[in-house]
Amino acid sequence: MSVSEMFAALQGALGQDQDIREEIRKVVQALEQTAREILTLLQGVHQGPGFQHIPKKCQKAREHFGTVRTQMESLKTKFPADQYYRFHEHWRFVLQRLVFLAAFVVYLESETLVTREAVAEILGIEADRERGFHLDIEDYLSGILTLASELARLAVNSVTAGDYSRPLRISTFINELDSGFRLLNLKNDSLRKRYDGLKYDVKKIEEVVYDLSIRGLNKEATVGGGGEK
């Protein structure tokens, strides 16, 4: 094989790789749009009247996740099944965002932490790496850390909306989450950096709870029986 033939073959391989990446980008753009629609929908819970419509918003968000599952099915077909991590960077960010959104929906519905397996099911992908397109553990953890920041914001807005019991429940949940993360030996620099931000979320929520205590509103929240979910 001549040098020109060798480079012609290399160019062919590069061209195929670029085609795959372009096809992946198109699907990822669609996923990002769906994620924006879900986020816009869920942001309504931060407004006063939004607390009364949480079940309806969660139901609508789950309908959007049906679109996500369809888009994920399309994404799976755009690259060789054994090359997940070769192209992982293309969908890593949007997948983390979708994990956060799924976790937020589950929290709003039941005030519990969604498992990685449950998130994978919501998104229509696998939890087990051996079974193909899957939810990477670090992507799951990154999404959960974003949830913590969102709940810190929700705690503040709950007080504004007159829901004094929710910040207490959020505080308990976030402290349990923080304890869980402390059990992990995080070596990924990006994930470790994001985890470091969790202490600020904990502090922010503690300040809200302290303020409620000073104003005597935490007693009112306890007597009130936990408030609306």
Between helix 3-42 and helix 84-110 the angle, nearest 10°, is: 10
Domain boundaries, the chain: 1-134, 135-217
Question: Where does 135-217 sit in CATH, by number?
Answer: 1.20.58.200
Q: What does the alpha-carbon distance between residue 37 and residue 43 come to, in Å, rounded to a whole number?
A: 10
pLDDT at residue 182 is higher than 60: yes
The dihedral built from the CA positions of residue 126, 63, 78 and 144, taken in this order, carries a sign that is negative
Question: Where does 1-134 sit in CATH, by number?
Answer: 1.20.58.190
Q: How many CB atoms lie within 10 A of CB 6?
A: 10
Is residue 50 a contact partner of residue 107, using CB atoms and an 8 Å limit? no
Indicate the residue type of 198: L
150 among annotated binding-site residues: yes
29 — pLDDT class (breaks 50, 70, 90): very high
226 — pLDDT class (breaks 50, 70, 90): very low
Q: What does the alpha-carbon distance between residue 135 and residue 184 come to, in Å, rounded to a whole number?
A: 18
Find the range with the poorest average confidence among 2-6, 43-47, 115-119, 156-160. Answer: 2-6
